[in-house]
Amino acid sequence: MACGGGQVKMTTAPKDFRFGSFVGSIVWLLFWIIVIVSLVGLPLIFIILFYIPLPYSNGEVITPYLFLSMIVDPTRTIPIIKFLIHTDFFRAAVFPGFMYAALIAAATIFVERKFLAKMQLRIGPLYAGKIEGIFQLMADGLKLMSKEIIAPSGADKPIFWTTPILFVATAAALTALIPVAPGWVVSDLDVGLLAIFAILGFFPLIALLFSWSCNSKYPFIGGLRALHQMIAFEIPFILSALSIVLLSASLNLTDIVEAQYAFWFFAIAPISAFVFYISSLAELERVPFDLPEAESEIVAGWLTETSGMIYGLIQLGTYLKLYVLAALFVILFMGGWMGPQIFPQELIPAFTGEKIYNATVVNGIFWFTIKTFGMIMLILLPRGINPRIRIDILLHTGWYKLIVLSFINMFIVLAMIYGGVITPGGLQ
């Protein structure tokens, strides 16, 4: 190719890819996986099994050796599976706790990117994965794990490193209070609703603490904005849920769901539902209430100095919080797991009289997940259609308008209760 009277020779990279080498690398990887599992994994499992109380099967105590032999026998595996899925560890770590919430959070990140792209006539993630870029989330996760974490030179290092972990841990603690089906909740507290609001109060403090530890002006401005914003919306947030407490006569989330067996509380308290929804947007710092992360004003707000997995942990905690608030809306206003029974009573044949499948529980999980994901989409929607509002309008909305609306709906509910129109549990 001629350029400025000279000749530039175009070269291409040598094609050194060999399919045989690729297959050999896969075989070598599988070999090392087998070696590591055999030398490390199995002994570790044996050590753990010696300290975990195992169930009885056919009148005999299951030893670690018998446990491993029963895994390959389906007729004897069912009791073990039933025992494991009802342990506190499984509920807290897998379902309905952290892993279930993390999977929904991960799906939400991908769906949000495609959803907003369609709204804005874009394509969104495309190349990582043959079908609509379904592996983009995995690619982004690997990228974040491989990137260097850069801490500002003047930062308070212990606080800078620990606050993202506290952020995720606080969000994970919220998932432990969410009931997803009858009997399926990690911690079924009598004051579960109060506990959720108490834990939510830690997020602005963590954001402010992290922004202060960065020793940078933009993060600290973002942290102050987050604190002002969340405090302004905390009162209407709690008042909007108070109408539901009056209707259900309980602070227990399971009792609130069961009190909606005849009708959803959304039909009686639509104003409270609206206030709760708007307050949730502010609590999550979602558009149009994303002033703590206003990129056109303060770079990225209190997230400006984040990089690598510090950013990844904060994003994970944020989307876990999104799942919790969407699920809480479903529990308070949309009947939780209540819905038509669409799953048959018998789906999987029982082995030796043991059953894992429970039609009522599966049906509850299905309806809860569908409602929660629908609510998540409604929370994501304003990001594609709304501009950011000014901070004075934001504070005025939280301190004045939403508080008044919350009291209006609460007085309506009180009037209906004292007038005998409704009772906690159904219409008169």
State pLDDT tens for residues 31-49: 888 888 888 877 787 777 6
* pLDDT reported for residue 174: 94
Q: Minimal CA–CA distance to 107: which of 81, 125, 85, 127?
A: 125
What are the pLDDT digits (tens) for 369-406?
999 999 999 999 888 787 778 788 888 887 888 888 98
* Contact in structure between 246 and 414 (CB atoms under 8 Å): yes
Degrees, nearest 5: CA angle 165-166-170: 120
Residue partners of 360: CB distance under 8 A and separation at least 6: 181, 182, 341
* Contact in structure between 151 and 215 (CB atoms under 8 Å): no
Handedness of CA 280, 283, 289, 294 (dihedral sign): negative
Q: How far is Cα 68 from Cα 47, in angstroms, rounded to an integer?
A: 13
Q: Of all residues in the chain, what percent are helix, strand and coil, respectively (each to 5)?
A: 65, 5, 30
Q: How far is Cα 113 from Cα 103, in angstroms, rounded to an integer?
A: 16
* pLDDT reported for residue 73: 64
Token readout for 124 is 């969104």
* Contact in structure between 76 and 101 (CB atoms under 8 Å): no
Degrees, nearest 5: CA angle 221-233-381: 90
Q: How far is Cα 357 from Cα 340, in angstroms, rounded to an integer?
A: 18
What are the pLDDT digits (tens) for 309-330?
888 888 899 999 999 999 999 9
| Number of residues that this document lists for the chain | 428
Residue with tokens 């899925």: 85
* pLDDT reported for residue 234: 86
Q: Minimal CA–CA distance to 367: which of 399, 328, 336?
A: 336
DSSP-assigned letters across all residues of 385-420: H-PPPPHHHHHHIIIIIHHHHHHHHHHHHHHHHHTT
Residue partners of 179: CB distance under 8 A and separation at least 6: 96, 185, 188, 253, 254, 257, 331, 336, 337
Is the overall model pTM greater than 0.85, yes or no?
A: no
| Residues with pLDDT less than 70, the chain | 1-20, 49-50, 52-77, 80, 347-355, 424-428
